[in-house]
Structure 1
Amino acid sequence: MLRNIDYEKIIETICYVKGIKRNETLKILGDREYKYVLLLLLKKYKCSDIEYVHKDFPISSKTTVNYGLKKAEERFFINKEFREMYFEIEDILEKTSRI
């Protein structure tokens, strides 16, 4: 069940889990795992508007985003720890959206 979860909530939750401030979002790209989680969550909640991504991250094209998303999906199916991290962040998003 998709709730009204927007781009900002996803970014804030990843920053919270990673332990960084909102103005340090570039650190998300430095950690491949969190970058992949971000891309998967943006896709799931249909927040993948490229303008928002360009605002916070130096991603040059939609092709780069699509390639990252493909890698993220591969990692999701292969890596158990990655899946657990993804579901943990997703649970936090779901809990905060109910409030």
Structure 2
Amino acid sequence: MDIGKYKQSRYDAIIEIICNYKGISKEQLSYILRDRECKYLLFLLLEKYKCTDVDYIRKDLRISTKKSIRNNVKKAEEKFFINREFREKYFELEKIAQKIL
């Protein structure tokens, strides 16, 4: 399997995890951007599994620059360290991701 397809499959799995968590379909993915907590959870998982490729994110989330992605990851990390409930949700999603990936 080439690296591009491997990253794409990981990216798709993370998107599916977040959509299932939020109870939405992939077509409704734009709703995640409205919910900051879910958006930050998504970016933390994407960062952890090294799936922050601008091409993938541009297609689904309409975020077009690496700087925007970096800023979202930075805000997500800040929230992770400040908010205990957010951390618990992240660890819950990470357990699911570990089983799938």
Shared fold, TM over 0.5: yes
Higher relative contact order (CA 8 A, sep 6+): 1
Identity across aligned pairs (percent)? 53
Q: How many pairs are equivalent?
A: 94
Equivalents in 1 of 2:77, 2:24: separation in Å? 25
Equivalent of 1:17 in 6, 13, 21: 21
Asked whether 1:30 is paired with 2:18, we answer: no
How far 1:65 moved relative to its partner? 1.0
Provide the C-alpha distance between the structure 1 equivalents of 2:73 and 2:99, rounded to a whole number of angstroms. 25
Measured in 1, the distance between the counterparts of 2:88 and 2:30 equals: 23
After superposition, the CA RMSD in angstroms is 1.4
Aligned to 1:7: 11
| Structure 2 residues without counterparts, runs of 5 or longer | 1-6
Structure 1, gaps ≥5 residues long: none
- TM-score, normalising length: structure 2: 0.87
Report the AA paired with residue 64 of structure 1.
Answer: S
Match of 1:48 in 2: 52
